[in-house]
Amino acid sequence: MGVPGEGGATKTTGLQDTDRESDKVTATTPSIAAPTTPTSPAGTTPKTIVGFNHADIVNPSNSANLLALLALPTKTKLILLLLVLLIISLIAIMIALAVLLAATSSTATVAAAAASTIDMRLMTYNIRYATTSPSTDEELWSVRSPLLASQLNLETAGRENGMMCFQEALWEQVSDVYANLNSLSSSSLPSSVAADENTAAEWDFVGVGRTDGAFSGEFSPIFYRPSIWSLRENATYWLSENPTIAGTVGWDAALPRIATVAKFEHVGTKAGLVLMCTHFDHKGETARVESAKLLVEIAGNWTSSSGDEGGYHVFLGGDLNVAPDDEAYLVLAGDMTDVKDAVAEGSRAGNENTYTGFTANTSDDKVIDHLFLAVGDADEIGWRSYAVLGNKFDDEVWISDHRGVVVDFSMPVGSTGNRDSTTLKAVIGPPMSRHTLTAG
């Protein structure tokens, strides 16, 4: 991500970040012989037939049979009438049952098809940390925050299964986004965030600060709706040689870098999904490459499950500070699917570049924010659309120096299985979330 330098320059180029605060036939008519009146053979007498058939009705010569029918006792006629009515009723019932069964089968087929997939929207967005010394054309967070909230509410409206991950969010910003998404006033957000998992809030989040694994430094939080998704497990990794030690700086990185990982179960279908949110270093090239390798390994661990139930789809989103031709990107693309490539070109919308800085000068604009299907068969996913959102509108206020990236798709429900929790904890260490934190 590009951010102002330590000297307060209006815009720095390159992969800068926060060192700072965090689809005529012709018919021939045949001739028909005229009907003849049937006669009885010589020496015979017509047989009296009780009952009637179709010829009795249409042929006057058989009127004797009709008269015979009419001469039947009233009781017999009533019985015959009841039998006819009974037969008609039975036929009607059979027809109705056939129609009902057909409708039920059709409804069940539609319902089964609907239940076999989940419509999803994922978003990654570097929201620019809340600096107290904004660069030229950069507004304070207090100005940008309500504009971001409006955009997030628009982009998630009607998409109940959607999730969002952010980068560069200080605790103040995480709190504001949480409050804005839930239509809360700032004062209604408790100072202690050891909130009950059964909170009535529409949105919740998971993540910790990168500096101390608590509140200090930038978060890479994941926001989700707890009424739709049940948070099963989560962890924070530090992109370093010691990924479970809070605050560690890896390789040639300038700052501590983290990846927030959360495993969810869909409340309605019990489908599973893992979302990873990260922010690569802006200076260390080796750190970016090694971070990519680490995330490939982590993603593989998180999709593992016990038994024969199958694994989870794993998605990765973040500000990677790498273009599609950079080595770190190629490491990821070698094992993962860039959702932009998975979506048909005609279904991609919006901008191309994801980083703009706080200037209309586009010379340094770049594609450095990405969404990946980290683990899972891309052919199983119904890819619908991909877009790079706007970050400045008629009010001329830059919401951030990055643009949000979104992807819409339908994900098969399938079987999810259960992770071997012993192996998991050996890999990631203790889970950390806002529900275990208390503001100090």
Q: Which residue has the tokens 């990946």?
A: 372
Q: 369: left (phi > 0), else alpha (psi -120 to 50), else beta?
A: beta
**pLDDT of 222 over the 80 cut:** yes
347 secondary structure, DSSP code: G
Last residue of a domain, one of 111, 135, 151: 111
Domain co-membership, 103 together with 126: no
Asked whether 276 and 295 are in contact (CB, 8 A), the reply is: yes
Q: What pLDDT sits at residue 338?
A: 98
108-166: per-residue pLDDT in tens?
544 444 568 999 999 999 999 999 999 999 999 999 999 999 999 999 999 999 999 99
Under the banding of pLDDT at 50, 70 and 90, the label for residue 286 is very high
Under the banding of pLDDT at 50, 70 and 90, the label for residue 17 is low
Mean local confidence (pLDDT), 243-271: 97
Domain co-membership, 91 together with 177: no
Rounded CA-CA distance 432/220 in Å is 13
Alpha helices, H only, 252-403: 285-303, 327-335, 339-342
305 secondary structure, DSSP code: -
Mean pLDDT of the residues in the chain: 80
| Number of domains the chain is built from | 2
> What helix, strand, coil percent values describe the chain, rounded to 5?
30, 20, 50
Edge-to-edge strand ranges of the sheet holding 117-126? 204-206, 222-224, 163-167, 117-126, 405-412, 382-388, 348-350
Under the banding of pLDDT at 50, 70 and 90, the label for residue 85 is confident
Residue percentage of the chain with pLDDT more than 70: 69
Domain co-membership, 172 together with 104: no
In a domain, 100, yes or no: yes
CATH of the domain at 251: 3.60.10.10
Asked whether 281 and 17 are in contact (CB, 8 A), the reply is: yes
Domain co-membership, 90 together with 203: no
Rounded CA-CA distance 116/268 in Å is 11
Domain co-membership, 142 together with 72: no
Q: What pLDDT sits at residue 19?
A: 53
Q: What pLDDT sits at residue 138?
A: 98
Rounded CA-CA distance 196/12 in Å is 42
Domain co-membership, 280 together with 237: yes
Domain co-membership, 256 together with 305: yes
In a domain, 30, yes or no: no
Asked whether 206 and 262 are in contact (CB, 8 A), the reply is: yes
- Which residue did the predictor score with more confidence, 174 or 23? 174
Q: What pLDDT sits at residue 414?
A: 67
Domain co-membership, 126 together with 102: no
Domain co-membership, 226 together with 103: no
User: What is the domain range of residue 419?
Assistant: 120-436
Asked whether 175 and 217 are in contact (CB, 8 A), the reply is: no
Q: What pLDDT sits at residue 80?
A: 81
- Give pairs for 19-26: CB < 8 Å, separation 24+: 19/254, 19/255, 19/282, 20/129, 20/131, 21/129, 21/130, 21/131, 21/132, 21/170, 21/218, 22/129, 22/168, 22/170, 22/209, 22/210, 22/211, 22/217, 22/218
In a domain, 252, yes or no: yes
**pLDDT of 237 over the 60 cut:** yes
Under the banding of pLDDT at 50, 70 and 90, the label for residue 82 is confident
Spell out a b/e string for 318-334, using b for 16 or more CB atoms within 10 Å of the CB, else e. Answer: bbbbbeeebebbebbee
- Which residue did the predictor score with more confidence, 213 or 418? 213
Under the banding of pLDDT at 50, 70 and 90, the label for residue 427 is very low
Domain co-membership, 65 together with 185: no
Asked whether 141 and 177 are in contact (CB, 8 A), the reply is: no
Q: 208: buried, middle or exposed (CB in 10 Å: 19+, 13-18, 0-12)?
A: buried
Domain co-membership, 94 together with 208: no
DSSP annotation string for 108-134? HHHHHHHHTEEEEEEEEEE-----SS-
Q: What pLDDT sits at residue 64?
A: 62
187-210: per-residue pLDDT in tens?
444 444 434 444 579 999 999 999
Q: What pLDDT sits at residue 74?
A: 79
Rounded CA-CA distance 284/251 in Å is 8
In a domain, 425, yes or no: yes
Under the banding of pLDDT at 50, 70 and 90, the label for residue 174 is very high
**pLDDT of 36 over the 80 cut:** no
Q: Per the structure block, which two tokens stand in for 7?
A: 């000297």
Q: What pLDDT sits at residue 304?
A: 63
In a domain, 130, yes or no: yes
Rounded CA-CA distance 139/132 in Å is 10
Highest averaged pLDDT of the listed ranges 32-46, 72-86, 378-392: 378-392
In a domain, 36, yes or no: no
Range name among 2-11, 373-382, 416-425 with the lowest pLDDT average: 416-425
**pLDDT of 105 over the 80 cut:** no
In a domain, 23, yes or no: no
Residues in the chain: 440
DSSP annotation string for 144-175? HHHHHHHHHHHHHTT-TT-EEEEESB-HHHHH
133-145: per-residue pLDDT in tens?
999 999 999 999 9
Q: What pLDDT sits at residue 335?
A: 96
Rounded CA-CA distance 318/323 in Å is 12
Mean local confidence (pLDDT), 371-378: 94
Q: What pLDDT sits at residue 310?
A: 54
Domain co-membership, 107 together with 132: no
336-361: per-residue pLDDT in tens?
999 999 999 999 999 999 999 999 99
Q: What pLDDT sits at residue 26?
A: 41
Q: Which residue has the tokens 């006033």?
A: 185
In a domain, 16, yes or no: no
Q: At what angle do helices 327-335 and 285-303 cross, to 10 degrees?
A: 10
Last residue of a domain, one of 67, 85, 111: 111
